[in-house]
């Protein structure tokens, strides 16, 4: 019997379909919403799989939006939040205690709020206070609902007049996801996700990416390795890594031989970052014999980001199978939630 008892495989095969449905849903439910005050900053409040959409939004728009985007993974909001702040509440379950706490603060500070959730207390609060609500399908692990959690954020900043129309990039991203769907689900030798998972098996994955769009993509990979494959993963960004961490490769040789380094490359990486990656690769070769260069695919920034996200999702899936663990359950997270709930009683 397959270790994939909850059929994560089928969920991953739906990504392109999810992408289309999610954008249609966000477009419909946010069509009439406009901010009541000018927006000076954007805060995405969420945790785990519900927060990564905020990181991707920030990375995608880092040089395309004139207001800062802040991702809040905490109970309290930054001090600057007020009537000119767009607070995007992102909680797949609608019950995330940190996010609900931040939501209450957003209300108290009269921030402008948009809510994305599948239900729960977050949905109840949105209806009570008249906040725009994007109600997404329930019943799956939050990390597998990325399309539904990311797209309302993108539509919200577009509807707020903060970015140009993103629909052309949205359409191209759908095409790229469909193209990859022809490769990743099949256990064949020409499947890059399967090949990479075999190279990572028994090793500690270390991800390096350039500052900008791929920084958030690398964060997604790390989360997927942890939750799907139940294996630790680490990462850093260039050029910052070259100013500190690179020296840390000089000791612990036995440990370093058990690492696998993954460089995530993108066409928009700064030319000096391209050069830094090549030099860094040379410097690391004496310490590990598992170094992998992975390149994004697609024309637009959004499609390139999600091309690597999809590859990372499938790689973590196959790595879970190699470790003979079901990629879906996250028992330690569930245990922690139950303990926290008991402490409140």
**Residue 338 bears catalytic tag:** no
Q: Mind spelling out the 3-state secondary structure of the chain?
A: CCCCCCCHHHHHHCHHHHHHHHHHHHHHHCCCCCCCCCCCEEEEECCHHHCHHHHHHHHHCCCCCCCCEEEECCCCCCCCCCCCEEEEEEECCCCCHHHHHHHHHHHHCCCEEEEEECCHHHHHHHHHHCCCEEECCCCCCHHHHHHHHHHHHHHHHHHCCCCCCCHHHHHHHHHHHHHHHCCCCCCCCCCHHHHHHHHHCCCEEEEEEECCHHHHHHHHHHHHHHHHCCCCCEEEEECHHHHCHHHHHHCCHHHHCCEEEEEEECCCCCHHHHHHHHHHHHHHCCCCCCEEEEECCCCCHHHHHHHHHHHHHHHHHHHHHHCCCCCCCCHHHHHHHHHHHHHHC
**Residue 337 bears catalytic tag:** yes
Catalytic site residue from 98, 180, 227, 265: 227
Catalytic site residue from 189, 243, 254, 339: 243
**Residue 41 bears catalytic tag:** no
Q: Which residues are catalytic?
A: 227, 243, 337
């Amino acid at each position: 019997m397959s270790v994939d008892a909850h059929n994560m495989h089928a969920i991953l095969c739906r990504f392109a379909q999810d992408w289309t449905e999610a954008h249609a849903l966000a477009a419909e439910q946010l069509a009439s919403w406009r901010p009541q005050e000018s927006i000076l900053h954007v805060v995405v409040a969420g945790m785990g799989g519900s927060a990564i959409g905020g990181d991707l939004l920030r990375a995608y728009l880092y040089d395309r939006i004139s207001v800062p985007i802040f991702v809040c993974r905490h109970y309290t909001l930054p001090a600057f939040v007020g009537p000119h702040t767009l607070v995007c509440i992102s909680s797949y379950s609608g019950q995330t205690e940190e996010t609900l706490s931040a939501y209450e603060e957003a209300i108290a500070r009269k921030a402008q709020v948009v809510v994305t959730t599948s239900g729960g207390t977050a949905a109840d609060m949105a209806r009570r206070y008249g906040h725009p609500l994007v109600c997404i399908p329930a019943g799956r692990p939050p990390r597998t609902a990325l399309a539904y959690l990311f797209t309302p954020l993108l539509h919200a900043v577009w509807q707020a007049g903060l970015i140009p129309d993103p629909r052309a990039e949205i359409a191209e991203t759908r095409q790229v996801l469909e193209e990859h769907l022809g490769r990743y689900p099949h256990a064949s030798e020409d499947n890059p996700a399967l090949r990479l998972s075999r190279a990572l098996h028994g090793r500690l994955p270390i991800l390096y990416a350039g500052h900008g769009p791929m920084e958030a993509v690398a964060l997604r990979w790390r989360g997927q390795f942890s939750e799907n494959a139940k294996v630790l993963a680490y990462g850093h960004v260039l050029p910052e890594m070259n100013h500190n961490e690179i020296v840390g490769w000089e000791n612990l040789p036995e440990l370093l031989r058990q690492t696998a380094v993954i460089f995530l490359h993108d066409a928009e990486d700064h030319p000096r970052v391209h050069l830094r990656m090549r030099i860094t690769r040379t410097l690391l070769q004496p310490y590990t014999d598992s170094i992998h260069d992975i390149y994004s695919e697609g024309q637009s920034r959004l499609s390139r980001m999600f091309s690597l996200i999809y590859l990372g999702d499938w790689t973590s899936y196959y790595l879970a199978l190699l470790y003979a663990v079901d990629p879906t359950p996250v028992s330690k997270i569930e245990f922690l939630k139950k303990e926290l709930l008991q402490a409140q009683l």
